[in-house]
Structure 1
Amino acid sequence: MELIDQVSISALSKRDLLLIIKALEYTNDNTNLEDFIELRNNIVKELCFLTNTTEEQFVTYLESSN
């Protein structure tokens, strides 16, 4: 198996991205492990950078399709 240096999200739907973000929030809330919220924040920060949006705009966009 080849080592993976980067993961592509191009195959993920908006719904999948929203589920990942919400799952990380839920897990952080229920375990109080900061790693989950840090991962959530890093993912959202990178996606906002790539889409030139704020966090609020990006999450609203993901939620609008559900």
Structure 2
Amino acid sequence: MELIDQVSINALSKRDLLLIIKALEFTNENTNLNDFIELRNSIVKELCFLTNTTEEVFIDYLEANN
């Protein structure tokens, strides 16, 4: 098996991205392990950078019509 250096999100839907973000939040809240919220924040920060939006605008976009 080849090592994966980068992961692409091209095939993920808005719903999938929202589920990942919400799952990381939920897991952090229920385990108190900061790794989950740090991963969530890192993903959201990168996506906001790529879309040139704020976190609030990006999350609202994902939640729209879901």
- Structure 1 runs not aligned, ≥5 long: none
Q: Which amino acid aligns with 1:58?
A: F
Q: Within 2, Cα distance between the matches of 1:20 and 1:65?
A: 17
Secondary structure at the counterpart of residue 9 of structure 1: coil
- Structure 2 runs not aligned, ≥5 long: none
- Give runs of aligned pairs for residues 1-66 of structure 1, distance below 5 A: 1-66=1-66
| Identical columns (%) | 85
Q: Which amino acid aligns with 1:5?
A: D
* Aligned-CA RMSD value: 0.4
**Runs of 4+ deviating beyond 4 Å:** none
Q: Within 2, Cα distance between the matches of 1:65 and 1:21?
A: 16
Deviation at 1:2, TM superposition (A): 1.0
